[in-house]
Amino acid sequence: MYPDWPEPGVDLEPLPRVDGPKLGPFDFKGPQRIEFLEYLGSGQHSHVFKVQILGTVYALKLFRFTYIYDWIGPGPRHTELDDIEAVSAFYQYSEPFSAECRAFGRLQESGHEELAIECFGYLLLDEEHERTLMSRFSDLDLEFSGTWSEPGIEERSRYPGESGKDPPIRGIVKEFGQENTVLRVKDAKKALRDIIQLQQLGIVNIDPEQRQIINGKFADFSIAITTPHYMMNPEMNIFLTPEWRSAVEYEAFGHSLRDYLEFDNMIVGWNCELKWTGNKKHKPLSVFAFPNGKGLQIKYDLRKSPDRERAFSYVDPRTYDWRAPRPGKTLSSKPPRWYYEGSDQHLRNLKRCTDFVPGIEWKYRAGLICPDKGSHWFEGIIESV
Ligand SMILES: Nc1ncnc2c1ncn2[C@@H]1O[C@H](COP(=O)(O)OP(=O)(O)O)[C@@H](O)[C@H]1O
Ligand SMILES: [Mg+2]
């Protein structure tokens, strides 16, 4: 399931091993040689280091072996941990390293790398470098099993490679940068524009938060959902009933919508921080995706607006043609909106939410990832397939 230790002399393949965008390996121009300079920080899914490779400084994000229930999709009650075929199917789309490879792969294939921090490929840390890393930073007790919020439960050894050894640590090499500590009007406008453009490339769940913006660009795609994806493209599963199809569409819409809701929450958070800290140096921002940052609870002039009964998101990410990428195709700053055509219940849910909580849990059955259960969002709508 996890990429195994590479055979000497054999080129690494682009990952992940599934239809859609992939990320190629970092080119060491010979044997792997990394100098670890500094520990930069950690997140839910990784430890990030300042490194030097071939004379250039980079940020190297080394991924933890996180629990399957932490992956975006399988859900907290996932019970198939011993079903290697099922876990492998989810791995390709939903595991944080795979999710990030797919998003950066999409930016490369579409020629729109400018929309995120620059990415130079993935690597599999060899044993010698892993030993060096662990001794150089021994004071940090670095854990690669589990997550930031729940470290320690052994995950890495759960899925050994061919030889029976634990799999190698996976990393992504990125431009080294600085977190944005200040949110100015132009930063906020750029972030919103970038979300709109990333979504036109079929990338959602961008997780817009101030700490994810580095050198003014989105830098963390470990929970991104990139088309084609079982959570976005119900047509990938020809066995879906019409009810399930509309439930999956509802959630796909919710994922698109959520990026804008979270963007607005980021602005509200920044404004609150200014107030609480008595910071008079910066003005509160009013750059919102939705009027006043209140989601779809929009007060329309009823005579004028045809939108009053409809829920919309700013982009339909499914329109990206992943089968025939056109590198360099210009992206619109005002693409056609995605109007949601669903049940009244769905519409009511969407209109009142200030964040979107996905409700579908997914199962692997007969070669396909299928929706299995729906939570409260779908009460009365969904039983089981
Ligand atoms: N390109 C980078 N340059 C400098 N620091 C970085 C870079 N990428 C990440 N970091 C630091 O590492 C932290 C974790 O990275 P992130 O990609 O958000 O990981 P996770 O997916 O685990 O949340 C960031 O909050 C930031 O402090
Ligand atoms: Mg992060």
Q: What is the pLDDT of residues 59-90, one digit of tens each?
A: 999 999 999 888 988 866 655 678 899 999 99
Which range marks the domain in which residue 49 is found?
35-378
Q: Which residue has the higher pLDDT, 354 or 281?
A: 281
Residue 241 in any domain: the answer is yes
Task: Kindly give, in sequence order, each residue whose CB lies less than 8 Å from that of residue 87, ignoring residues fewer than 6 positions away.
Answer: 1, 68, 80, 81, 159
Ligand 1 contact, 51 CB (< 6 A): no
Q: Is residue 7 part of a domain?
A: no
Q: Which of 180, 220, 221, 222 to mutate to test the pocket of ligand 1 (most atoms within 8 A of CB)?
A: 220
Q: What is the pLDDT of residue 375?
A: 60
In a domain, 117, yes or no: yes
Q: Which of 50, 61, 149 to mutate to test the pocket of ligand 1 (most atoms within 8 A of CB)?
A: 61
Which of 58, 178, 214, 218 maximizes ligand 1 atoms within 8 Å of its Cβ, making it the mutation to test the pocket?
214
Which pLDDT score, from 0 to 100, does residue 382 have?
37
| pLDDT score recorded for residue 376 | 46
Report if residue 29 sits inside a domain. Answer: no
Mean pLDDT (whole number) for 98-112: 98
Residue 200 lies in a domain: yes
What is the whole-number distance in angstroms between the Cα of residue 60 and the centre of ligand 1? 9
Condensed to tens digits (0 to 9), the pLDDT of residues 134-175 reads 999 999 999 999 998 888 888 999 999 999 999 999 999 999
Note whether residue 16 is domain-resident.
Answer: no
In the numeric block, the tokens 């620059």 are attached to 118
Tokens of 5: 């230790």
Nearest residue (by CA) to ligand 1, atom 15, is 43
Residue 287 belongs to some domain of the structure: yes
Confidence of residue 343 (pLDDT cuts 50, 70, 90): confident
Give phi and psi for 127, each to the nearest 5. Answer: -60, -35
Ligand nearest to the CA of 117: 1
More confident residue, 180 or 309: 180
* For the CA of 96, the nearest ligand: 1
The Cα 227–Cα 240 span in angstroms is 18
Q: Pull the structure tokens for residue 339.
A: 């109007």
Find the 43 Cα to ligand 2 centroid distance in Å.
Answer: 5
Note the pLDDT of residue 215.
96
Q: Say how many domains are in the chain.
A: 1
Ligand 1 neighbour 43 (Cβ under 6 A): yes
The mean per-residue pLDDT over the stretch 17-30 comes to 97
Please indicate, yes or no, if residue 12 is contained in any of the structural domains. no
- Ligand 1 atom closest to the Cα of residue 178 is 4
More confident residue, 363 or 132: 132
Tens of pLDDT, residue by residue over 206-238, are 999 999 999 999 999 999 999 999 999 999 998
Arithmetic mean of pLDDT over the chain: 91
In sequence order, the 6+-apart residues with CB closer than 8 A to the CB of 382 are 243, 244, 247, 371, 373, 374
Predicted confidence (pLDDT) at residue 380 exceeds the cutoff of 60:
no
